[in-house]
Amino acid sequence: MATSYKVLGQNNPTANTLTTLYTVPVGANSISSTIAICNIDANTATFKIAVRPSGEAIANKHYLNYNTPIPGNDTITATIGLTLSANDVVSINASSSLLAFSLFGSEII
């Protein structure tokens, strides 16, 4: 079993667009430990984070955060500690294109 702690996904999504931050590779599991959200604008913005099992369409039950505010020029880190299976998806959505997301964790192959 091989594991390494690393950046699983980074994205600066288009405003108000559901975007995939990370998909667990085929043949692997993943432990997603922390997600960092950085607002590089002076204005407050909001974000959404969803985790959905492989093959499922996005639904309300998948959201970990929904329209969570983040002040201007600030960074929020959330410890989420999720174990994900192959093809599970972490998705993000931001009210501004000036939010940057980074997901950290380990892949278990």
Question: Could you tell me the residue ranges of all domains in the chain?
Answer: 3-108
Q: Which tokens hold the place of 109?
A: 């192959």
Tally of CA atoms within 13 A in the half-sphere of 63 that contains its CB: 10
The reply to whether CATH 3.10.450 applies to domain 3-108 is no
Q: Note the pLDDT of residue 15.
A: 96
Q: Note the pLDDT of residue 1.
A: 60
Q: Note the pLDDT of residue 80.
A: 83
Provide the Cα torsion 102, 66, 53, 8; round to 10°.
0
pTM comes to 0.92
Dump strand ranges (E) for the chain: 3-11, 19-23, 29-39, 45-52, 63-70, 75-84, 89-94, 99-108
Taking only the tens place, the pLDDT of each residue in 6-61 is 999 999 999 999 999 999 999 999 999 999 999 999 999 999 999 999 999 999 99
* Alpha carbon distance 85, 81 (integer Å): 13
Do 70 and 36 touch, CB atoms closer than 8 A? no
Q: Is 87 left (phi over 0), alpha (psi -120 to 50) or beta?
A: left
Q: Mean pLDDT across the stretch 62-83?
A: 94
